[in-house]
Each structure stands twice: as C-alpha cells, then as structure tokens.
Amino acid sequence: MLLKISDNVIKFSILGIAFFLILSSGITNSLIGIGIAVWLLHMISKKDFRLKSTKLNVWLLLFFAISCISILNSIEPQTSVTGVIKLLKYLGIYFLIVENVNDIQFHKKVIIALAAGALVSCLDGIVQYAIGRDVLHAYPLIINVGLKRMTGPLRHCNDFGVYLVTVVGVIWSLALYEFKKREKVLWVLAGLLVTLCIGLTFSRGAALGFCGGMLVMGIIKKDKLILAILVLSILAMPFLIPSGVKEWSKATSSWLESFCNADRIAFYRSSIRMIKDHPIIGVGLNTFMKAYPKYKVRDVDVITADACYAHNNYLQMAGETGLVGLAVFLLAIAMFFMEARGVYRQGASYARHAALGLVCGIVAFLLNGLTESSFYFSKIVVVFWVIMGMAVSLKFIKNDYTD
C-alpha cells in the first residue's frame, strides 16, 4: 500500500515538474524535492538501489566527478560546493524520470503535461504582447531596436526562446508523424502557436536552435516539406528583417557581431583567457562570475559588467571545469544520441516519434547554447534534463517495442 502511494506521489511530481517548468519556480522546486525524496525512500523500502543500466550513466557520473574535482582548483570552494549541489539536483531530475517513467501511457501523459505548460506560457506571452506585461509575473516586454520581444513568464526573451525551442521538437514530431485526425489538428495548432512565440522572442540563438532541430527532423524523416520550408525561410529572411534591425546591423563591424553582439564577443574573449589560464579542471564549478573580473578583456569599446556569464555554454563549462570537463560532457551528449538512435531504430511508432522530437529539442538547446549560458540558468536547465530523461526512458519501455 505504501509503495503504491509513493509511486503515485512520484508520478504526480514528474507530471507537475513537466507542466510548471517555467510557470512557477517555487512549485517546480518543491515537486523536484518531493519527487526525488520519495523516490529515494521508495528504493530504501525495497532495499533495491540499482539504476537502469545505460552507457550514458557512466559519462554523466564521470562529469559529476570532474565537477567535484574542480573544487580543488576553485577560486571560491564554497561557491563550487553550491554548484555541485545544484548539479546533483539536475542529475536527480534526470534519474527520477528515467527510473520512474515505466510505461507508454504515463510517458504520453508527461509529454502532454510538457506541451500544456508550453501552451500556457505561450498564451501568457500573447497577453504580454497585447497589453505590455505578462499575467503570471507582470514581466514587461523587452524593446530592442524597435522590436517588441516576448518574454512570457520569464524575465528575458532569450531565456523564453531557449525553453520553447527545447520543447517544440516533440510537439512537431508527434503532430506530423504520430497523431491522427482530431489529435493531429490539435497538436499542429499547438506547434504553430509555440513556433509563433519563438519568432516573437526575436532571439537569434532560438532561431538557430529551432532551424537546427527541425533540420535534423527533416533529414531523419526525409521530409521534403520541412526541408523546403527551412530553405525558403532562410532565403526570405533578408527581406523579412525589420528596418530597425537592418539599420542597427549596418553599424556593426562583422557578421559575427551582428549575430552575437559586441558584448558577447567580449565575453567569449574573456572566457578564452580564463580557459588558457586553467585548461585542465578550470576555475571551479559555479565560479565563472567570480573569476570573470580577472580575465575581463579591456581593449574593447564595449564595457561589460564585472559579474557576467559567458553567454556560451561550452566556453563557460570549459572555464569552470576545464577542457576535461567539457570533453566529458560532449562525450555524454554523444552517448545520449546513441541511446536515442537505438530507441528510434527499435521502437514502435510512438517511441520512434517521441524520441525523434525529444532529440531535436536537445539539438536545439545545444545550438542555442552557442549564444547563451542556458546550462547555468536554473529555470531553464531543468527542461534540458527533463527532455533528456524522457528520451532515455523510452529505452526501457518494452511494451512499445512491437508494431
């Protein structure tokens, strides 16, 4: 009886995490704490601490170990310990999902909760676009070079873009290739709404992530329509760029500055200086902002603050955990793609198309990470671990491995 209750609590927590991801930090963190705690108690009561075996586990645990080792070289060990605790929480979310999403019906429910949360956040963003502030937190629109940029229930439009492109892949994959008739119409409408809101963030990183994710989907499915739309969109882009953006871009010195902004280029140069100084295990997990003033480039016209993120996941990871930490993380990502490839090849219809969409979401997150430190923003990084966990969990849902 107690085991059944704990199982229901765990499932409720996972559904809540998927829905409330960016809608409420308080609720999401509470559900994460409850879910992980009850899951651990569940294992203790059964006296079974075995995890489902994947090669990915080894690389994730190795990345965690290297993050812990980086404390030895940390400029502020206490801050690095805090970072290790955060990373442990994120890994806990991943394992919570992999270990407890055990049947196809519950997997579908979690995907529906994920899509529902994205739709609510998009509706909040639409209201924000209409009245100037979102409903949930009263966050204002961001105005840049004459553009009204949607932030939804987040403070910044770029963060909202990261979240949406990570979620939209599975919505489009199921809409286009899995669902039929009425369900198909509803999911296509959901995909269109989320895609519209991605556009209204006017985030260049989100646009890169979205195009990259959909390109992967189009290539894998050999979908000529998706590929044609992407090509036509890219060709039409120069004619669709707002006049304010065109005028601004004329004042930039290169295409890289037009895409990244001068301040990001300064961040990147500062990050490279940090990596050169501490190439093996970095300056310590969670201490990039603390170390930044020492490595901040000053031979530029743009003046950056003394406490900044790298605005690039990979440069920040290399800065904090060294090239060793970055290499292990990238190998973990490669192993994730291999696990997902196995699901796509062996799974039945739903498993294949869910895995495809979830992988496209991870691709979008990783590409967006070239211009954002999304892996280090607690409100956003949770979606990465949820999507990854949902993809890997399909490997163990045996009842969907027959057509």
Domain edges within the chain: 2-48+58-400
pLDDT interval class at 255 (50, 70, 90): low
As a three-state string, the secondary structure of 50-119 is CCCCCHHHHHHHHHHHHHHHHHHHCCCHHHHHHHHHHHHHHHHHHHHHHHHCCCHHHHHHHHHHHHHHHH
Please give the pLDDT value at position 306: 77
Asked if 278 and 295 count as a contact pair (C-beta separation under 8 A), the reply is no
Distant-in-sequence, close-in-space partners of 263: CB < 8 Å, separation ≥ 6: 302, 304
Chain-wide mean pLDDT for the chain? 91
pLDDT per residue as tens digits for the range 298-333: 877 667 777 788 999 999 999 999 999 999 999 999
CA angle in degrees (0–180, nearest 5) for 392-229-143: 85
Residue 107 in this model has a pLDDT that exceeds 80: yes
pLDDT per residue as tens digits for the range 9-37: 999 999 999 999 999 999 999 999 999 99
Q: What is the mean pLDDT of residues 239-260?
A: 70
**Cα torsion 252, 257, 260, 263: sign:** negative
DSSP letter string, 317-360: HHHHHHHHHHHHHHHHHHHHHHHHHHHHHHS-HHHHHHHHHHHH
Asked if 313 and 365 count as a contact pair (C-beta separation under 8 A), the reply is no
